[in-house]
Amino acid sequence: MLRMVLVLDEDYRGISPVIGVILMVAITVILAAIVGTFVLTLSSQLDETPPQVRFTIEFPASDTLTIMHRSGDSIPAAQLNVVTEAPLDPTASVTFIDAAGEDNLITAGERAMYQRKGKWEGEYIRIIWKTSETGRSTTLTEIAAPH
């Protein structure tokens, strides 16, 4: 009886390394899939870098804000937003979309003008760029209005 157990034990001795190899291959495939997904996701986000641009912001009147694209990349007008705590008058303003040419791009030399309802009182004005693909946003310029 003891001899039969040894013979059966010898017959199954090769199965353990085979199972170990199968498990190692499965773990390697799963890890490769996870790392591949992470790298592809990260690389797609790198394609959406914010534009390199310089704006000048002036306050020619107590209720007016002028933003001029001085230099840098051309930006689709629909991707630019002016954000402030102050209430803006959309009917008296010339937005980036209004200022863009037929190509709908804001390029060096083009300007937008925003009219505030009332006088500027130190509110912050931000020019925000929003990606068209993921909707991620970045502040390109920020300034405080005069008091």
Q: Based on the structure, what is the number of domains in the chain? A: 2
Give residue 117's pLDDT band: very low, low, confident or very high (50, 70, 90): confident
pTM above the 0.85 mark?
no
Q: Are residues 80 and 117 in the same domain?
A: yes
The pLDDT, as a whole number, for residue 141 is 92
Whether residue 123 sits in one domain with residue 75:
yes
Same domain, 39 and 100: no
Q: What is the pLDDT of residue 105?
A: 93
Q: In Å, how far are 58, 105, 106, 108, 111 from 101, measured between CA atoms?
A: 22, 6, 7, 12, 11
Within this chain, do residues 40 and 94 fall inside the same structural domain, yes or no? no
Which comes out higher in pLDDT, residue 39 or 113?
A: 113
- Where b means 16+ CB within 10 Å and e means fewer, 82-103 reads bebebebeeeebebbeebbeee
User: Do residues 41 and 65 both lie within one domain?
Assistant: no
For residues 109-134, give the mean pLDDT: 90
The pLDDT value recorded for residue 92 is 87
Residues 76, 131: one domain? yes
CA-CA distances (angstroms) from residue 126 to 34, 85, 89, 123, 145?
38, 10, 16, 10, 11
